[in-house]
Structure 1
Amino acid sequence: MSKYLVKKVLSNNAVFVSEGDKDYILLGKGIGFSKKKGMVLEKLDNIENTFVALTDEDKNLIYNVDKEVLEIVEQIIDMASNELKEDLNPHIHVGLIDHINFAIKRLREGIEIVNPFLVETKLMYPKEYDIASKAVKMLKGKLNIEIPDAEIGFIAFHIHGGRSNASKSAALKNTKLVNMIVEYVEKKLKMDIKTDFLIYNRFVYHLVALLDRVNSGKTVVNNSLETIKKEFFFEYKIAYDISKIIQNELKKEVSQDEVGYIALHIYKLNSL
C-alpha cells in the first residue's frame, strides 16, 4: 500500500506530498483537513484523488510561496469549479499559484501591470472573466493589496485554460488576434471604436465565432456575397485583408463567404 508524506498542506482539498523520491500535489475532497506537515497518508481508497506530478521548479515554487497565497489560490480554484459546475484540470493549481505569486511580487515592488486585451477578454470569455473578477476581490480582501483590473483578464485565461478541452495559450492567442483585427479596422476607418457600443460587441462576438469555425475547419454560406462585394467594396477590401491576417496567424484559410460577413460588420462600424 502506498504511503504519502505530507510536506505542505495547501488547503482542505489539496496537499503537497512525496512518495519515495517523487513529489506530487494530491487532490481530493477533504484530503487536507486536519493534516499537518510530517504526517503520513495511507488508506485513501475512500477518497477520490488526483495526482499532479511536480518538477523541481514546481517544488521550489510551492516551498517558497507564502501560505496565505497558497490558501487563497486554492479557494479561488474551488470557487471557479463550483461556479462552472465542473472539475478543472489539476495543472491549474501550479499554474495559478505561480501567476498570482509573481503578480503580487510585482505589485509590491511598484511595477505596473498592463493588459491591452482586457475588453476583448471580457467579451470572449464572460464566465471566466466574471469568476476572475471575484477572484481579484478575494485577493484584495485577504492580502490587503490593491490589484488592477488588468489581472482579471490574466486570471480569466488561467481559469479558461483549466476547463476541459480548453487551452490558455490558445485563448490568449485568439484574444490577441481579435485585438489586432480591431486595431487594423480602426486604422483603416480612421476612427477610435467605442468599446461600449453594441455594434463593437457584436463585431467581437462575430470574430470569436469566426475563429472557432476557422480552427475547427467549418464555415458558413453567404448567399449575399456578390451583392456585398459590389455595394460594400471598401469594407470588403478591409475584410479581405483581415482574412489574410487570420490566415497568417492561424495557418488556416478563411472562405470568401466569411469575408463577406466581416465586411457587413465593418460597414456597420463605418456607419457610426
Structure 2
Amino acid sequence: MEQYMIKKILSNNVVLVEKNQKSYVLVGKGIGFGKKRGAFLEDLNEIEEKFISLEGLADFEYEHFLETVDPKIIELCKKIIEMVACELDENLNPKIHAGLIDHVNLAIKRLMEGIEIVNPFLFETKLLYPVEYELAEKAVSILKENLEMNIPEAEIGFLALHLYGGRGNNDKEEALKHSKMMNQILSHVGKKLEIDMDKYPFDCQRLMMHLIGVMSRVKKNQCIEKNFVSKLKDDLRYEFKVAYDISKILEKTLKLRVPESEVGYIALHLHRLNSYKR
C-alpha cells in the first residue's frame, strides 16, 4: 500500500508530506497531532480529498514557502477551494493552490500592517468574470469570519482572478490583462467624450458588455455584417474615430483583427454616451 511520509508538521491540522517523490500539504483536523517527521500515513481515500498541491514550486522552495505562510491560511484556502469546487461542481486545477495561498497570506499580512489594498480594475473584473467574482465574495466572507478582520472589496477582485485562473486551462495573467484593457478603454472613452464615466454606470456597463461580446465574436470569427458601416462613418464621424481607437486597443490585447462592422456597433454605443452631455 502506498503511503504518505511526513516531512514536516506545520500544525496539528496541517502537515507537509511526500508520496511518489512529490510533495503535498495535507489539511485535516488533528492530522498532525502526535505525529513525527518520517512517520507514515496510510493511503486512505479521505486523505486524497485533503491535499493541497504544491505544483509550480521547485523542491528547494517548499521549505521557504511553508515557513512564510501561516498554517491557518492554508486551512482557510483549503476551505475556499472546497467551497468553489462545490459551487461550480468542478475541481479547480491544482496549479492554483500554492499561488492562492501565497496571495491570501500576503494580503492578510499587509492588512494587519495597515497597508491599504488598492485594485484599480475592480469594476472591470466584476463585469468580465461575474461567476468568479461572486465566488470570491464568498471566499472573503470565509476569511472575514475565521480571521475576525475587515477585508476590503478590492481583495475580492484579486481573488476572482485567481479563481478564474484555476478553472480548466484559464490563465490568470490573461484575465488581469483583459481587466486592464477594459480599464484603459473606459479611460480613453471618458477622455475623448469628455464624460465622467462614474456618473453613467449603467451605460458604462452596457458598453463593457458589448465589448465582451465583440471579444467573443472576434475569437470565434463570428462577427456581424457591415452593410451599414459607411452611413455610420458619415453620421457619427467622431464616435467612429473613438471606436476605431478602441478596436486598436482590443487588437493589441487579443492579437486578432477587429472588423469594421464591429467598430460601427461600438460607435453606436459611444453615440448614446456622447448624447448625455448635449
Shorter-normalised TM range:
0.7 to 0.9
CA distance in 1, matches of 2:12, 2:217: 40
CA distance in 1, matches of 2:62, 2:217: 36
Which residue does 1:164 correspond to in 2? Answer: 168
Q: Cα gap change, 1:267/1:167 in structure 2, threshold over 3 Å: closer, same or farther? A: same
- In the TM superposition, what is the alpha-carbon distance from 1:2 to its structure 2 partner? 3.6
Question: What is the root-mean-square deviation of aligned Cα atoms in Å?
Answer: 2.6
Q: Which runs of 5+ in 2 are unaligned?
A: none
CA distance in 1, matches of 2:12, 2:89: 20
Does 1:93 pair with 2:97? Answer: yes
Alignment of 1:168-179 (within 5 A): 168-179=172-183
State the one-letter code of the partner of 1:4. Answer: Y
Number of residue pairs aligned between Structure 1 and Structure 2:
267
Alignment of 1:1-272 (within 5 A): 1-6=1-6, 7-8=8-9, 16-19=16-19, 22-25=21-24, 32=28, 35-36=31-32, 37-38=35-36, 39-44=39-44, 52-53=54-55, 54-55=57-58, 56-194=60-198, 197-272=201-276
Q: Cα gap change, 1:86/1:255 in structure 2, threshold over 3 Å: closer, same or farther? A: same
Question: C-alpha offsets along residues 118-148 of structure 1, whole Å, 9 cap, x if unaligned?
Answer: 1111111111111111111221121122211
Q: Cα gap change, 1:10/1:251 in structure 2, threshold over 3 Å: closer, same or farther? A: farther
- In the TM superposition, what is the alpha-carbon distance from 1:197 to its structure 2 partner? 3.1
Q: Compute the TM-score of the two structures, normalised by the length of structure 1.
A: 0.87
Considering fraction of residues, name the structure with more helix: 2
CA distance in 2, matches of 1:46, 1:259: 54
The percentage of aligned residue pairs carrying the same residue is: 45
Q: What SS does the corresponding residue of 1:4 show, helix, strand or coil?
A: strand
Q: What SS does the corresponding residue of 1:136 show, helix, strand or coil?
A: helix
Q: Which runs of 5+ in 1 are unaligned?
A: none
Q: Cα gap change, 1:8/1:168 in structure 2, threshold over 3 Å: closer, same or farther? A: farther
Q: Compute the TM-score of the two structures, normalised by the length of structure 2.
A: 0.85
